[in-house]
Amino acid sequence: MLKGKTALVTGSTSGIGLGIAKALARQGANIVMNGFGDVAGPRAEVEALGVKTGYHGADMSKPAEIEELMKYAASTFGRVDILVNNAGIQHVAKVEDFPVERWDAIIAINLSSAFHTTRLAIPAMKAANWGRIINVASAHGLVASPQKSAYVASKHAIVGFTKSIALETATTGVTSNAICPGWVLTPLVQKQIDARAESEGIPVEQAKRDLLAEKEPSLQFTTPDELGELAVFFCSPAGNNVRGVAWNMDGGWAAQ
Ligand code: NAD
């Protein structure tokens, strides 16, 4: 379905970004990958699906590096047809203890990076009269939790940004939507489970069950593959007039 198209997925060396990259690759899209850590392994997983990949290691907190990433994507594949703004970080602390540097990093990576990639990707999408912007927000884009002020602020803001861009592109073939996952068992969440086990002196498996029970009525993690299939839906012809939604895949978290 997406043969001949190019998807740029930020933060695709791990977790949800990698799941979305693989789901889009299964539909034939070439993938521009980005993110830190091991690159060769995730890249090989995507290439095994029979598509071409590129990689650029831009730090998504740095606008100048984001510009380089966008130039790299355009020069390597011609154009970005599908932009998935996924790179994100978390920090858990009460607001009065929140390190200023962590606040700035969360806003830069979870929110401002999407402004930069979007402003740079949209002209070519509009010229082609087809494009998909998919922002990975969170259940925390819809409801809050304590000790996550920066994360919740960034995710509510990206939902607002998604809607604004949907309105600006409403009469074109470009759409803008957000995905709002509940708990997904990625390194980002494993850190929170480990911290909980340590602070409460309980086994990691119990911390995992408690974490789910507190927020997620299904008591199940959403998977990167499931989130990838939602991204594929947004890219399908059935998604042509889906504009400005913040679609939760959260086991009932935000329904409470
Ligand atoms: P993860 O830690 O597994 O992956 C994050 C990715 O972003 C990695 O590839 C990492 O290298 C990259 N990254 C981090 N900082 C970066 C930077 N400055 N520049 C470039 N790349 C950077 O986390 P994940 O759980 O897969 O999270 C992906 C997205 O999903 C995030 O936006 C997160 O907020 C969101 N999310 C996660 C969950 C969850 O339960 N895991 C739930 C809701 C939303």
Q: Annotated catalytic residue: which of 72, 151, 161, 183?
A: 151
Give the pLDDT of residue 89.
97
Which percentage of the chain shows pLDDT scores above 90?
A: 100
Give the pLDDT of residue 154.
99
What is the DSSP annotation of 36-54?
SS--HHHHHHHHTTT--EE
pLDDT, tens digit (0-9, with 9 covering 90-100), for 86-112: 999 999 999 999 999 999 999 999 999
Residue 217: pLDDT band (50, 70, 90) is: very high
Distance between Cα 13 and ligand 1 center (Å): 9
* CA-based nearest residue to 19, from 153, 136, 143: 136
Tokens, residue 222: 């959403």
**Best of 8, 16, 138, 161 for a ligand 1 pocket test (most atoms within 8 Å of beta carbon):** 16
Rounded-to-integer distance, Cα 108 and Cα 88, Å? 9
Name the DSSP class of 236.
S
Distance between Cα 171 and ligand 1 center (Å): 31
Give the pLDDT of residue 238.
98
pLDDT, tens digit (0-9, with 9 covering 90-100), for 157-168: 999 999 999 999
**Best of 38, 89, 142 for a ligand 1 pocket test (most atoms within 8 Å of beta carbon):** 89
Average pLDDT along the chain: 98
Give the pLDDT of residue 184.
97
The order of strands in the sheet holding 53-55 is 53-55, 30-33, 6-9, 82-85, 131-136, 174-181, 246-249
The arithmetic mean of pLDDT across residues 4-23, rounded, is 98
Paired sense of beta strands 6-9 and 82-85, if any? parallel
Give the pLDDT of residue 25.
98
The class (CATH top level) of 6-183+223-255 is: alpha beta
What SS3 state is found at 239? helix
Name the DSSP class of 4.
T
Atom of ligand 1 nearest to the CA of 13: 9
Query: 0.95 cut: is pTM over it?
Result: yes
Residue 186: pLDDT band (50, 70, 90) is: very high
pLDDT, tens digit (0-9, with 9 covering 90-100), for 33-77: 999 999 999 999 999 999 999 999 999 999 999 999 999 999 999
**Best of 31, 33, 36, 55 for a ligand 1 pocket test (most atoms within 8 Å of beta carbon):** 36
Provide the b/e sequence for 112-144 (b: ≥16 CB within 10 Å): bbbbbbbebbbebbeeeebbbbbbbbbbbbbbe
Show the beta-strand stretches assigned E in the chain. Answer: 6-9, 30-33, 53-55, 82-85, 131-136, 174-181, 246-249
Whether 151 is a known active-site residue: answer: yes
> Is residue 186 in contact with ligand 1, taking CB distance under 6 Å?
yes
The arithmetic mean of pLDDT across residues 201-209, rounded, is 96
CB atoms under 10 Å from CB of 99, counted, come to 11
Distance between Cα 14 and ligand 1 center (Å): 7
Q: Which residues pair with 53 in a beta bridge?
A: 31
Atom of ligand 1 nearest to the CA of 36: 11
Give the pLDDT of residue 51.
98
Distance between Cα 10 and ligand 1 center (Å): 9
Atom of ligand 1 nearest to the CA of 61: 18
> Is residue 189 in contact with ligand 1, taking CB distance under 6 Å?
yes
